[in-house]
Structure 1
Amino acid sequence: MPDKVKQTWLILSHCFNMDGRAASLTITDKLPFLAEAGVEPIILSGVSGDRDKKFKHYQLIPWGPAGFRFDMRHVIASHLGRGFVYQILVGLMGLLLAPFIAVERLLLGWQNQWSWSLPATLRSLWLIWKYNPTVLYTTGGAYSAHLAGYWIKRLTGIKWIVEVHDPMVKPGRVPTTRDEKINGYIEGLICRFADLAWWFTEGALKGARQRHPELGDRGVVILPGVAKPSVSGSYKRGEQMIISHFGSLSDTRSLQPVVKAVHTLLEHNPEIRSKLRVHIYGGTIDRLAKLEIQKYGLEDVFISFGRLERSEVTGMSGREQVLARMFQADCLLLVHGTISDCSEYIPSKLYEYLWTGRPVIALTYQNPQLDQLILERNGYVASGDNSGQILAALTAAYSDWKEDHLPQPGLPAIGVDQAVHSILKLVR
């Protein structure tokens, strides 16, 4: 880590201190390393996460009705859970706000969180006057932080550094909707006015530079990594091979190809049915995969555990329980999707997987950088749209498990410290 820089940074992130959320972990995991290097962070965030007790942290409610409803649903759930009272309160709030949300969408058509940029800008101006930070750091996720960052940069001239989580313009697509257009517009503002901007993949940076050549060498790639888990676990081979998937699933990131491959594998080797299980954490099995599971009668093979919440018995948070189960899995399953975004996107869950030392079975799509990260750590890679490759990867992994020689990663995990080191070096 570079020598202590002794600076105050103002950090804007709508999503912050939300248990297990990638958009939150990307910044919260960096704070201890920034503080260790002499940076005093002042955080401005939404209200959907917990207030930080270690650093100066201000929480703001979006001024728009859609953003207000979005954030308050999280606040209500965190205090009351998602039971009957939650349903009543959220329903009433939605009913009262519906006319105003309709007007907002009719006039703008932007994502829910856009209006958080308004109070964030005003509060930031006050914080800059009070604390005189040397750097404004916006991160997202939601583009509201970047929109506020642009306004603050233009009003104050403060050094503005930007962390772009996901591609703001879909690869190979001209923005058509109003929300897509504002995303593209804000990407342009970042490329023109940010003093430093970084993306998480080589493909995302390449796309941004093609659209905005003026970005030049102010744009770089920094792998985000994740902090070393606070919870560890030990692996013990059991009577069944457990392949575990963690994270959300959808029509565009579906387990359907895995279900089909497992069906084919069991058709060829029916005797291994009792030996193979796929565990799913973090949400429900996606619609397309459910249909395939029902079609082939694989309900005993694919088992969903849903989203793990804080345990009253052990006191472990949802994230801590998830991490413990990652260490216990035989193999970890990564589903990338098969849409154009995949060429510019690496699932943040991969970095958590790498800390466990368990082999990764990855279904990727048009992303050589992601393939390399997994292959150089002795994982199994298949193209998400190639059923033959998926079957081959699952067959190879099962064979290695059966012979009790699943591979070990040849390289260390990717921590947050390397990202912070790169950021500090570039800012200085």
Structure 2
Amino acid sequence: MSIESINIPKVAEKKRWLILSHAFNMDGRAASLTITDKIPYLLEAGVEPIVFSAITGLKDDRFPHYQFIAWGPSGFRFDFRHWVANQYGRGLIYKLLTTTVSILLAPFIAVEKLVLGYSSQWSWTLPAFVCGYLLIRSGKVDVIYSIGSAWSAHWAGVLLKRATGLPLISEVHDPMVIRKSPDDQGFEKPKNRDARFRHYLESQLCKYSDYVWWFTQGALHYAKVRNPNLNTPGNAKGFVVMPGANPPGNMGEKIRHQYGEYLNLCHFGSLANDRSLAIILNAANSLFVKYPEARKHLRVHAYGAPLDTLSVQVIEAYGYQDILLAHGRLEKDPLTGKSGREQVAQRMQEADVLILLHGNDEWCAEYIPSKFYDYLWSGRPIWGITHRNPQLDKMLLNRNSYLSADGDDPGIAMALEKIWVDWQQKQLIQPIWQPIGVDQAVSTILLHIAE
């Protein structure tokens, strides 16, 4: 989707935006892409960005971009690992340097966890606040823009807002308060100290941000339940923005699909026991009983993350080492020059069906996997296995997708059987080409702010 495809409002004043994003220009990272994909449209609208980020990504030379390493030991170790990987790859030098630093920092990290108990990136707030305060006091900033997913950016944004009074706009990627059941509204203060601080920080964003937005209707709903001051005079104005995605590589155009020897089901992104390919393998086991020939042709590919424990257990139980193929994270290819994201785009377009695992936690009601927006650009059928999210279900059905409910094992088995039959007949469902670009997200944000 081009910059011209949607009318992006122009920023008439307050153009100098201090963008606080721990992850920025990190190849293939969802937290990075959500802001870096917006940059061309923000520039087109007249925004003059000043970016504060960690050292984990590549430095951008189109505008002032300051990279800070976290001041706490666990954050330093996290950032240092990514910096070494960017500089030297993940070979011998990486292993030697990161192992040495981890050993040296181990006692300090233990004390940090014992005293605070926060996630590792918390201490990135400190350099971001100090340097942001000095920059603002020098008169070089008009607006503060804090971006998740690391909450350290939001904390820095709130502190800068309170210290300077400048307008603060905030983008919340994942729910900051994790509910446990449909009846749980998230009022109870968590025992975990990091979760308790996120609970507090959500209330601070709803109080001190001028504008704050979430990525789903469910996330906005529950934030409003916990913070009834949201959207009231003197407090933050909250709304929903679909993040969308820009088409990497040649995914801006549909590619004619070629059927091959194998039915290739491909999953991209992180895996965990609550978001596991084990449910696909269990369904495959039922499929092979009914269609023994499917055993020779079905292949499930996992890109972007190690296999979860449940998937490994099912592979060993059924002997499916040749069925589920784990490719890991795709890094930049020095031979072709393709970035990890471009390689991912190519693999998506080559897939027969893309697997979208939503998970089974209650927070799925407030969350849409970021890979969904990349999937829409691929032009390939999506098999969504979702949990309590009518917004996601509707978007999938409106675009012609295979759809199952997490926990409905017979329904998941039936969906896989339908995919198998459709593939055999070379009549896989034809998705409706309705990708969601990033330009609509920027337009939505700027229109709200203009009001």
Query: Is 1:181 paired with 2:189?
Result: no
Deviation at 1:241, TM superposition (A): 1.4
Q: Which residue of 2 aligns with 1:349?
A: 371
The separation in 2 between residues aligned to 1:130 and 1:360, in whole angstroms, is 50
Q: Does 1:224 align with 2:243?
A: yes
Q: Is the 8 A contact 1:13 1:44 kept in 2?
A: yes
**The 10-residue stretch of structure 1 (262-271 or 277-286) with the greater mean CA deviation from structure 2:** 277-286
Q: For the residues of structure 2 that align with 1:53 and 1:120, how far apart are their CA atoms?
A: 19
The counterpart of 1:415, out of the listed 437, 440, 443, is 437
> Partner of 2:311: helix, strand, or coil?
helix
Matched, 1:336 2:358: yes
Distance in 1, Cα, partners of 2:91 & 2:256: 35
For 1:271, the equivalent position in structure 2 comes to 293
* Partner Cα separation in structure 1 for residue 366 and residue 297 of structure 2: 36
Give yes or no for the alignment of 1:94 onto 2:102. yes
1:139 alignment partner AA: I
Q: Could you tell me which amino acid in structure 1 is paired with residue 244 of structure 2?
A: G
Gaps of 5+ in 2: 1-6
Which deviates the most, 185-194 or 244-253? 244-253
Pick closer, same or farther for the CA change 1:157–1:17 going to 2, 3 Å: same
Secondary structure at 2:154's aligned position in 1? helix
Normalised TM-score (structure 1): 0.97
Q: Does residue 1:32 correspond to 2:40, yes or no? A: yes
User: Which AA in structure 2 matches 1:5?
Assistant: V
User: Are 1:378 and 2:397 matched, yes or no?
Assistant: no
Shift of 1:317: 1.2
CA distance in 1, matches of 2:8, 2:363: 34
CA shift, 1:391, in A, is: 0.9
The 10-residue stretch of structure 1 (224-233 or 256-265) with the greater mean CA deviation from structure 2: 224-233
Deviation at residue 80 of structure 1 after TM alignment = 2.0
Q: CA distance change for structure 1 residues 79 and 162 in 2, over 3 Å: closer, same or farther?
A: same
Q: State the shift of 1:411 in Å.
A: 4.7
Secondary structure at the aligned position of 1:424 is classed as helix
Q: How many Å apart are 1:362 and its aligned residue?
A: 1.1
1:208 counterpart residue number: 223
Deviations 1:204-238 (A, max 9, x none): 11111111110126111111011122333552221
Q: What amino acid maps onto 1:94 in structure 2?
A: S
Mapped partners of 1:12, 1:265: distance in 2: 49
Structure 2: which amino acid aligns with 1:193?
Y
- Give structure 1 stretches of 5+ with no counterpart: none
Q: Which residue of 2 aligns with 1:4?
A: 10
**CA distance change for structure 1 residues 47 and 76 in 2, over 3 Å: closer, same or farther?**
same
Per-residue deviation at 1:312?
A: 1.9
Partner residue of 1:67? 75
User: What CA distance in whole angstroms lies between the structure 2 residues aligned with 1:240 and 1:62?
Assistant: 46
Alpha carbons 2:248, 2:341 under 8 Å: kept: no
Q: Using the alignment, how far apart are the partners of 1:304 and 1:105 within structure 2?
A: 33
The one-character-per-residue Cα deviations of 1:293-322 (angstroms, maximum 9, x if unpaired) are 121122222111111111122111111111
Aligned to 2:205: 190
Shift in Å, 1:410: 2.5
Q: Using the alignment, how far apart are the partners of 1:39 and 1:390 within structure 2?
A: 47
Q: 2:277 aligns with which of 241, 246, 255?
A: 255
Query: Aligned ranges for residues 89-168 of structure 1 at < 5 Å?
Result: 89-130=97-138, 132-168=140-176
Cα distance, 1:409 vs structure 2: 2.5
Distance 1:413 1:110 in 2: 37
Q: Deviations over 1:42-84 (max 9, x none)?
A: 1110111100122221111111111111100111122222223
Relative to structure 2, which stretch is displaced further, 396-405 or 108-117? 396-405
Match of 1:309 among 304, 315, 331: 331
Tell me the alpha carbon deviations over residues 75-105 of structure 1, each in whole angstroms, 9 at most, x when there is no partner. Answer: 1122222223322211221121122212211
Partner Cα separation in structure 2 for residue 247 and residue 135 of structure 1: 33
- Aligned to 2:230, the other structure's residue is in SS state helix
Q: Which moved more, 1:93-102 or 1:32-41?
A: 93-102
In structure 2, relative to structure 1, the CA distance for the partners of 1:247 and 1:111 (3 Å cut) is same
Instruction: Give the match for residue 50 of structure 1.
Output: 58
Query: How many Å separate the matches in 1 of 2:162 and 2:328?
Result: 45
Amino acid at match of 1:229: P
Residue aligned with 1:15, SS: coil
Contact 2:9-2:443 at 8 Å conserved across structures: no
Q: Which stretch of the first structure deviates more once superposed, 81-90 or 334-343? A: 81-90
Mapped partners of 1:403, 1:354: distance in 2: 24
Matched, 1:22 2:30: yes
Q: Per-residue deviation at 1:267?
A: 1.1
Q: Distance in 2 between matches of 1:130 and 1:229?
A: 38
Is the 8 Å Cα contact of residues 376 and 411 (structure 1) preserved in structure 2?
Answer: no
- The DSSP-based 3-state class of the residue aligned with 1:213 is coil
**Secondary structure in 2 aligned to 1:277?**
strand
Specify which of 225, 235, 239 is matched with residue 261 of structure 2: 239
Secondary structure of the residue aligned to 1:216 is coil
Q: Secondary structure of 2:245's partner? A: coil
CA 1:190–1:122 in 2, change beyond 3 Å: closer, same or farther? Answer: same
Bigger drift between 201-210 and 126-135 goes to 126-135
Determine helix, strand or coil for the equivalent of 1:279: strand
SS in 1 for 2:82: helix
Let me know the Cα RMSD of the aligned residues. Answer: 1.4
2:271–2:308 CA contact under 8 A, matched in 1: yes
Tell whether the 8 Å contact from 2:298 to 2:323 is kept in structure 1 after alignment: yes
Aligned to 1:402: 424
Segment of structure 1 superposing worse, 177-186 or 211-220? 211-220
> d(CA) in 1 for partners of 2:264 and 2:84?
36
One-letter amino acid of the counterpart of residue 187, structure 1: E
Letter in 2 for 1:113: Q
Q: Distance in 2 between matches of 1:130 and 1:323?
A: 43
